[in-house]
Structure 1
Amino acid sequence: MKSLTLRGLRGGVGCTTLIAALGYALHQLRQRVLLLDLCPENMLGLHLNLPWSAAEGWAQADKQQSPWQEAAWCLSQDLWILPYGRLSYAEQQPIAQSLNQQLEHWPERLASLSSHFDWVLIDQKTAEPLSLVACDLEIRVAHADPACHALLQSSLPPDMPLLVNNFDPIRKLQRDIWLLWQQTRPELVPLLIHADEAVPESLACKAPVGHHAPQSLAAKNVASLAAWCLSKE
């Protein structure tokens, strides 16, 4: 089983949306996929038709000392999601403290699932200084904008792949930054995800973009990203 996480150079670059879309794209390539939400915001399930009112999740199970595996939802054959669950801010604190003190917690859990899945895609908080799970493939996600360009000067290890999301070729500044990164950032993933109205529409429909609008440019971009990830095996 291979593990992958997408983490933003800053907040708001679309990592959760991309994880849902990439999980669906890998599943379309006949991969067995688990989507794991480690973010207290519990947003990943919204992209996969889970009800907003659903409180179930691994954190809720940990709080109640019940089996965490029972919080997983089967979306279709070989496509599963394990949501964080819905907890109050006060209830989240002991969960976060426990995870930070026991960094082997989730690697041990995922090891127990290794025979059931080909991929686990993990949604982790951008603001966390360290990953809660060290993944086989960690991709940093950025917009081609001055803020991300500034952050790139200090916050990205030289061998960590960098993916550009929400790229609008009409905008000259974005084109210029993309061309500069192509020349100066050898870790740049050799494809990008274009800005596409189908992406916010897919969240409104509570579906990954590849399911909601399979012929859209963004869906085709994500399908290419899935193939690129498979090439890294």
Structure 2
Amino acid sequence: MKRLLLVSLRGGCGSTTLTANLAQALVKINKQVLAIDALPENLLRLHLGLPSEERDGWVKQVLNGGSWMEAGYQSPQGVTFLPFGQINDEQHSQFSHAHHHLQQLAEATLEIDESEQWQLFHGDLSYLSAPNLAGFMASMDMVLVVLNADAINYSVLKTQFQHQHGIQALIEQGKLKFVLNKYQPETEIGRDFMLVLKKELGDALVPVMMHRDTALPECVANLTTVQHYSPISQAAKDYQSLAFWCVSTLSATSA
């Protein structure tokens, strides 16, 4: 079993899109995948074919006394996933308090009898240094932090990672990697910041660059992933390359 946590460095970097399309790319190379949305915004479902009027999810089930397994769905293209679910303010407070339910889900999904399964958790940057999620983080084989090549992301990167001991520990363990998303090589600013990030992050920067592609927002509008909607697009090629990189990297780590 391989477990990945995907988070954005800041809002809008694209971790939701990356989680859904990486899951689809892994399925395309015959990997068994379970994608889990661990954010109350509950947006991962839109990329995987679940209509906005569907309100069920694993948190909603658990808080109502049910089982997280009752919230499982499969996308039309074969990705098994657990949406977060639409919850009210009181339920949101219950979830956020100590993240007890997320820790429980992480433990329960470890017991799934599928040794070859890939589990992709979509979460928040704050999870990386939350003391009550230490067990959750320890269970991850890799953490992918999604960022963009611009001045704001660079500033956040410098301030966030200089003072977070938990994050530094993940980097030292080789578990934390950065994914450059929405890359625009045709712009000077994009190229400049890409070179700066390469120099400063070194091996922690994933060698696959995820290019900005107009096909991606169209995919969400059609409740699907880019591999299905636009299979010959640059984005589809990027996600397939990222999937192969993940498989190769984690295979080498466990060898």
Q: TM-score range by the shorter chain?
A: over 0.9
Name structure 2 gaps, 5 residues minimum.
Answer: 162-167, 251-255
Matching residue's letter, 1:179: L
Name structure 1 gaps, 5 residues minimum.
Answer: none
Answer whether contact 2:24 2:77 (CA < 8 A) is retained: no
- Within the candidate set 151, 158, 163, 1:153 is matched to 158
CA-CA distance at 1:148 after TM superposition:
1.3
Change (3 A) 1:211 1:78: closer
Answer whether contact 1:6 1:140 (CA < 8 A) is retained: yes
Which residue pairs with 2:253 in the alignment?
none
Which residue pairs with 1:125 in the alignment?
124
Q: How does 1:92-171 map to 2 (within 5 A)?
A: 92-97=92-97, 99=99, 101=100, 104-115=103-114, 118-128=117-127, 130=129, 132=133, 133-134=136-137, 135-156=140-161, 157=168, 158=171, 159=174, 160-171=176-187
**Structure with the larger strand share:** 1
Number of matched residues? Answer: 232
Change (3 A) 1:39 1:29: same
Q: Identity of aligned pairs, percent?
A: 32
Q: How does 1:37-48 map to 2 (within 5 A)?
A: 37-48=37-48
State how far apart, in whole Å, the 1-side matches of 2:101 and 2:43 are: 24
Which residue pairs with 2:207 in the alignment?
190
CA-CA distance at 1:152 after TM superposition:
2.1
SS of residue paired to 2:210: strand
State how far apart, in whole Å, the 2-side matches of 1:119 and 1:191 are: 20
Matching residue's letter, 2:71: A
TM, length-normalised to structure 1: 0.92
Change (3 A) 1:102 1:207: closer
Answer whether contact 2:59 2:101 (CA < 8 A) is retained: no
Q: How does 1:45-84 map to 2 (within 5 A)?
A: 45-75=45-75, 79-84=79-84
Which residue pairs with 1:206 in the alignment?
223
CA-CA distance at 1:108 after TM superposition:
1.4
State how far apart, in whole Å, the 2-side matches of 1:102 and 1:122 are: 14
Answer whether contact 1:34 1:117 (CA < 8 A) is retained: no
Q: What is the root-mean-square deviation of aligned Cα atoms in Å? A: 1.9
Answer whether contact 2:51 2:223 (CA < 8 A) is retained: no
Matching residue's letter, 2:108: R
Residue deviations 1:114-138 (CA, integer Å, cap 9, x gap): 4275101111124546364322110
CA-CA distance at 1:92 after TM superposition:
1.3
Matching residue's letter, 2:185: P
Q: How does 1:14-29 map to 2 (within 5 A)?
A: 14-29=14-29
**Structure with the larger helix share:** 2
Greater mean alpha carbon deviation, residues 72-81 or residues 220-229? 72-81
Residue deviations 1:135-185 (CA, integer Å, cap 9, x gap): 211011110001111122243434421110001112111110111222222
Greater mean alpha carbon deviation, residues 81-90 or residues 13-22? 81-90
Q: How does 1:4-23 map to 2 (within 5 A)?
A: 4-23=4-23
Matching residue's letter, 1:230: V
